[in-house]
Structure 1
């Protein structure tokens, strides 16, 4: 996992390039410029509307429609990628080969083989590679992680993780498996898989069973549709049982249901969203019928993963083998969910 030291004042700002400044890309750029010692030198974005909005925040940035010009800029320390999923692996590899560190939106690749290629490029270039697995960086989930790592609730034998989104993506490419790599599992379930595996120290997985649906009908192949509901059962080599559910456009009774519950031999713990919010979370510890709140809102966590990457980059951190292997392990599970 990326580690950081306190930032040193008066250091030269990191020079960053941004490929893709739609809503998520602009948000990550704004957070980086506000909360890390960074400057935006270049923006690559085909949409005029998105570019205009981004340049309101990064007024001195140079705009180009060609990612190649961003890779070729020798002044850049790092590149932030927030484009459609099909582009991530290729763009990350090009950025790394050009000598830039990379912070990429998830998924890093649509398949484990794509992710391995990116990791190999990062290793060869000895450059810091990070993925925006943002829920790790909420105060609420970090409290759950620390609680479990401390051993206070004993050995974890089961976990239930859910991400139901009452809405679906508004971009057509999400629904094309060649462009997206998958449906709600790739979009939402990747966060659940990452949180479960990270908390349990990335155990070896011996069994994965999945049930994938499109508009209520079970999917067996993905030529025309991607899944909008998934139920997945995962068993580790230590027989820890992990249940995952995720969906788009589900009748959830609220905007979203986002939860991660862990059951241990000495107690339990839960990470939960508040009143259907996509942004507000609590962390709770359980012992029998007793519940203790560990963390409550507010927590301005959006974009924090990028700030952690930038701080590590500023401190000179290079390729990180541990986190790179985690990216591969997570995507291997996704491949197994899709039967690839």
Structure 2
């Protein structure tokens, strides 16, 4: 498991531990093992079925009795966390303080306070911390991002973000705000909010107005329900207007509607899913009534964020202040949406 030859940036084999190998965690593991010079040394997972499926890719990985056993393993370079949201911050902090870099499913924490605690641990340990904000790494959104950064469509003054999922989550903890941190905004909206903030260089958000609903009734508290529909209006310090709408179980006429549209002074751009797909995306550029398709499927993007993290880790990269501050900024806006 430990290379006999001298470790260099070119030949270092990463030793990784995986906490949670449900379908998302397992997918990220499979991509890391396939596309990077990484080995799965340990897995912590309560489900026998998930363990059996994970073993098909990680044949030599040891099954840990608990996540703490993974944190105690001195041979691990990094830990991949794909557990329920309530566990993310605590597990990330324990991994970081034990000397491991971390790649975590979103959200990194349920509140800004939790995220700040994780970031502090990463900084003190000088370890690489990343969150699986996977849509950044699709070829379609990369095309939109590059178009906007080139200023080909001018100054961006508005953005419309939509993520409607015709199916709600199938795990009970998603519907408990103490365990999830929030409903469809935390689950879905966080992705597109990240895309907009990242593209706009994480501006200060001066105004946030949110309307949160459960089964068509406006929520006044989270004691019994989390939101399954949200409409959020935000304004940046530069007067850029950002609309966010997301939902679970909505009658969308298809499996999903996923879009991020940007309107500039010389044109527009859009990142859109294709035919209701959760996985296929296109990028389009607009000038007046003219439309140009920039990117079409296929694109095998699902584990790409983890690959980027692993490649940076293999070169010895430690704490990344810029990305860490982005995690905090995003979660502070989420807190405002939820009135925290």
State TM-score, norm by structure 1. Answer: 0.97
The match for 2:164 is 164
Residues of 1 paired with 2:10 and 2:202: CA distance?
A: 38
The match for 1:149 is 149
The match for 1:74 is 74
Residues of 2 paired with 1:32 and 1:230: CA distance?
A: 34
The match for 2:322 is 322
Task: Confirm whether residue 273 of structure 1 aligns to residue 264 of structure 2.
Answer: no
Residues of 1 paired with 2:61 and 2:77: CA distance?
A: 15
Residues of 2 paired with 1:9 and 1:17: CA distance?
A: 20
The match for 1:332 is 332
- 1:220: how far off? 1.3
The match for 2:3 is none
1:282-334: per-residue Cα shift (whole Å, max 9, x none)?
00001000011111100000110000000000011110000000000000000
Task: Confirm whether residue 35 of structure 1 aligns to residue 35 of structure 2.
Answer: yes
Residues of 2 paired with 1:200 and 1:258: CA distance?
A: 19
Secondary structure at the residue paired with 2:174? helix
The match for 1:96 is 96
**Equivalence map 1:221-240=2 (5 Å):** 221-240=221-240
- 1:46: how far off? 1.1
- 1:200: how far off? 0.2
The match for 1:136 is 136
Secondary structure at the residue paired with 1:57? coil
Gaps of 5+ in 2: 1-7
State TM-score, norm by structure 2. Answer: 0.97
Residues of 2 paired with 1:138 and 1:316: CA distance?
A: 25
Residues of 2 paired with 1:318 and 1:9: CA distance?
A: 14
- 1:65: how far off? 2.9
Aligned residues: 333
Residues of 1 paired with 2:279 and 2:308: CA distance?
A: 19
**Equivalence map 1:47-86=2 (5 Å):** 47-86=47-86
Secondary structure at the residue paired with 2:55? helix
The match for 1:45 is 45
Q: What's the Cα RMSD here?
A: 0.9
Conserved? CA contact 2:9–2:314, under 8 Å: no
Task: Confirm whether residue 195 of structure 1 aligns to residue 195 of structure 2.
Answer: yes
The match for 1:298 is 298
Moved over 3 A (4+): none
The match for 1:175 is 175
Gaps of 5+ in 1: 1-7
Secondary structure at the residue paired with 2:327? helix
Residues of 2 paired with 1:147 and 1:332: CA distance?
A: 28
- 1:9: how far off? 8.7
The match for 1:3 is none
Residues of 2 paired with 1:155 and 1:337: CA distance?
A: 26
